Amino acid sequence: MTNDKSLSHPFLISLLLLIGASASAANWPHWRGPLFNGSTDEKNLPQHFSTEENVAWSAALPGPAAATPIVWEDRVFLAGADPDRDMLEARAIRRADGKLLWQRDIAQGIRRDHRSNLASGSPVTDGEVVVFFFGNGDLVCFDLDGQQIWARNLQKDYGEFAFLWSFSSSPTLFDGKLYIQVLQRDVPVKERGFADRENQSYLLALEPKTGKTLWRHVRPSEAVAESREGFSTPIPLLSETRNELLVLGGDALTGHDPRTGRELWRWGNWNPRRIDHWRLVPSPVAGGGVVLACAPKRSPVYAVKAGLDGLLGDESLAWQSDTATKISADVPTPAFYDGDFFVLNDIQRALSRVDASTGNVEWQISTPGRGKYEASPLAADGKIYLVDFFGQVAVIDAAEGKLIEAISMDDPVDDEVVRSSVVASGGQLFIRATRRLYCVGKK
């Protein structure tokens, strides 16, 4: 297969045109990349490397975080946590040599539970500003030289987050607006959230250069308890007729008008019994005329036909996976590349290439090593890059599903793990280990 297959769909063509006007293909400005789907048209990416071999530079980090590196031209941006100082921080690294350009303290207190810290959301940039969003509600905007432009805290503005675990969602910059989603419980949990009124789930649009709220759309949900909690990120979807924002969580996949937040359509039949512990982690991903929703806990992947309106039933599904085939994802967000989806099953330890139009499995392999893979896959240059909890990077041939290399890039201590996705920019890979950022490839 070639990339011509993936470009045959109108909404992806529109997306490429829009992004091409504002960002170089060598940039990785958003958690899921320049196309919002975990892929890029990068070529000549390295596949043989180690912590010493084929490394342009590496930079020390104070501690682990799940936030993915963001790359814009000569800068790499990272959200992080310093456990020695119990401090959330934002930093910029010079892309040429790994030198720290600036570092800003954001807030004291890096965690609420033992499973993760509050620096799990990735920053986002449009080349003019860079925005960081942390699990404590801090939303901070800098210029690329580290001068703070504005800051606000969404918990102070709209109420304490009602999540059992540490909240995380990455911001999205799209078509001149900054989008944030908070999908949470309607009642308090562990004394978090309002006790005298409903905790509202919402989609928020802000002016990137001022932080001013443009609109706030309250998103209803029929989910119960923890199943209302969403850790996904709003994803743009473009077509010849309209633009949308995709939001996944609270037992529903919805499409929204980016200008107003108005809900355009809704589908959500993966939890008809309203099981109360099905929090949702993967973000939606679009490609091949469908939008994927990955239901949790070994449940199927659902492909909803794009471009529809209203309350949708199962007739709106193009296909759904058979869980016997291991096509499922509890934490990682699939990638769309070369006309197909690449679905990483973190629970059953499998990576699959799935035909976007039919759901047929083109190949499937077991993930190598003993570590769990929760970081979302990178698809580029005919390869799929994965990284597990222990920092082992797996390089897989995208066409045939064969393992090319399995490379150890970390040796974590205590309960530290690697959850940050590998990203590609300018012929290089950026790999975030627990205590070091590696730039792999030619200088």
CATH class, range 3-440:
mainly beta
Q: Are strands 428-432 and 423-425 parallel, antiparallel or unpaired?
A: antiparallel
What is d(CA 184, CA 328) in angstroms, rounded to the nearest whole number?
23
10, pLDDT greater than 50: no
pLDDT for the residue numbered 25? 54
Question: Each residue of 397-427: pLDDT tens digit?
Answer: 999 999 999 999 999 998 899 999 999 999 9
The total number of residues written for the chain in this structure: 443
Banded model confidence at residue 323, pLDDT cuts 50, 70, 90? confident
pLDDT for the residue numbered 113? 85
HEC readout, 371-397: CCCCCCCEEECCEEEEECCCCEEEEEE
pLDDT for the residue numbered 11? 46
What is d(CA 330, CA 344) in angstroms, rounded to the nearest whole number?
9
Question: Each residue of 179-232: pLDDT tens digit?
Answer: 999 999 999 999 999 999 999 999 999 999 999 999 999 999 999 999 999 999
Token duo for residue 66 = 């799940």
If you average pLDDT over every residue of the chain, what do you get? Answer: 94
